Amino acid sequence: MRIPHSTRLLAALSALPLLAGCFASGGADDDTASAAKDGARLRVALAFPPAERLSPYGADATLLSRLGVTEGLTSLDANGAPAPALAQSWKRVDDRTWVFTLRDATFQDGTRVTPAAVAASLGHAGQAEPAPAALAGAALTAKADGATGVRITTTAADPVLPLRLTSPSLAILAPKAYDAKGAANPVGTATGPFEVTKLTGTTSATLDRFDDYWGGRAQAAGVDARFIADGTARANALRTGEVDVAEAIPVAQAATLDAATRKETATTRTTSLLLNTESGAFKNPALRAAARAAVDTATLAEGVYEGHADAGAGIYGPAVTWAAGKRTAPTGRTAPGKPAGAAVTLATYDNRPELPEAAQVLKQQLEKAGFKVKLEIREYSRLESDALAGKFDAFVLARNTLVDTGDPVAVLASDYTCDGGFNIAQLCDKKVDQAVKAAQGIADTGKRQDAAMAAETAILGTDAVVPLVHQRVITGVGKSVRGVLLDPYERTLVGTGTRR
């Protein structure tokens, strides 16, 4: 039976609310008649530089999707349900088999988007190490099915596969994107409305309009992106007219922007304190419990975030509207122990400027409880590998819980299971793994939500994660700019209709 992209099975599952330095223009002729006809270039300030040379398999995946470079077989619509992208439709053949029908599309290198190319691209994603978060706890095999079809078979029943395939980390790239070792290079090989033509280290990227984009010609001639980790510098660049769009404006800078240029969006992002359960002081569950008891989340929400966030309630925040009514308090937690001067290293990154301030407040709270705390702050691309390797005792992370797939179970599998590819807490707990596995196999929407919340309860019971705040993000948008995509999932920013 054909399953349309508005399938009832998945719609309710993600029933979320709609929720410095000189910056030269990339187009010197923007003010000319030619530029007016062709569309001005957009100048965009981004908070996070590429951490993995624009590989779609890690943190850079959302950077690529936000700039309109990459796309997958499906996308998320405004309500969090799967919608057509490179696949114009799909059907479920049996519990483990789906067939996706491709639309007529072209890669940015001029080659056609064929079933064989799509199957190969998904195959490379499945072999990537570490595995993309969207594939945590899942494995799939893709092959061509006729002239326009791609048949995808999963090792176990996967009722949310169309939702999983919305992940930016499962972007489809041309065959030439992959080297002999399977590494992916999206420069000039993706399918989106904008093509990366130049990447200058971790400082800037130049994108030109891809005129053969299947979804229509973009209104902007291109995008000149700069990666500016300092939030104050991003805000200043917008205020002085050096950039047209600046993401992640610090709450401390929000009042300095004209109200017309300040756009606040409720998101599914939660900032959490992750505690290393594998080594160091927090290997002891009693000390994890002591850390959790020491944290005052209300102080963070009202003080550090100046009311632009809600105090942490769980892994899922209020933007996931169904979660609160299904949440139960963890039981059987280990009683807090006495830190007695236990030394811990607390790390975070400064791309989101509230995080260092939050870490400083946490340092004070933990020290008051009896810990001896060393604070380490770096730019994210210089921190991620050490965090994933478990080199810190504690880590403050801002994580969009639905960015990877739109499925609430996916973030649990990737971040908190033994085989999770983004498990900064190094958690490996049999009860947690069992709870997550049980949730992954459920197709019924309400029951899948119930199982996700049961898994959340099991995770919180380990004290491997202490939810701190649920964020709202502020985007700076120039008064002349139209069509910026303010997305609660933080996957999109620039699209075909974005212009100035």
Are 417 and 137 a contacting pair, CB within 8 Å?
Answer: yes
- Kindly report whether the global pTM for this prediction surpasses the value 0.85: no
φ, ψ (nearest 5 deg) of residue 58? -135, -140
Count of beta carbons in the 10 Å neighbourhood of residue 446? 12
pLDDT of residue 480: 95
Q: Which residues of 452-466 are buried (b: 16+ CB within 10 A; e: fewer)?
A: bbbbbbbbbbbbbbb
Are 147 and 102 a contacting pair, CB within 8 Å?
Answer: no
The C-alpha torsion from 310 through 487 and 481 to 172, rounded to 10°, is 150
pLDDT of residue 37: 54
φ, ψ (nearest 5 deg) of residue 27? -115, 105
Q: Which residues pair with 398 in a beta bridge?
A: 271
pLDDT of residue 210: 98
The amino acid sitting at 229 is A
pLDDT of residue 34: 45
Look-up: residue for tokens 């530089």?
A: 49
The C-alpha torsion from 107 through 112 and 116 to 121, rounded to 10°, is 0
Name residues whose C-beta falls within 8 Å of residue 78's C-beta, 6 or more positions apart in sequence. 18
Segment holding 139, helix H or strand E: none
pLDDT of residue 4: 39
Q: What is the Rg, in whole angstroms, of the alpha carbon atoms belonging to the chain? A: 22
The amino acid sitting at 161 is L
Instruction: Kindly give the confidence (pLDDT) of every residue in the chain, 500 residues in length, as a single tens digit, with 9 standing for 90 and above.
Output: 333 333 333 333 333 333 333 333 334 344 434 444 578 999 999 999 998 889 999 889 999 999 999 999 999 887 778 999 999 999 999 999 999 999 999 999 999 999 999 999 999 999 998 788 788 767 899 999 999 999 999 998 888 899 999 999 999 999 999 999 889 999 999 999 999 999 999 999 999 999 999 999 999 999 999 999 999 999 999 999 999 999 999 998 998 999 999 999 888 899 999 999 999 999 999 999 999 999 999 999 999 999 889 999 999 998 888 898 999 999 889 999 999 999 999 999 998 889 999 999 999 999 999 999 999 999 998 999 999 999 999 999 999 888 778 888 989 999 999 999 899 999 999 999 999 999 988 888 789 999 999 999 999 999 999 999 998 899 999 999 999 999 888 999 999 999 99
pLDDT of residue 437: 92
φ, ψ (nearest 5 deg) of residue 223? -135, 130
- pLDDT, tens digit, 9 for 90 and up, residues 22-37: 333 334 344 434 444 5
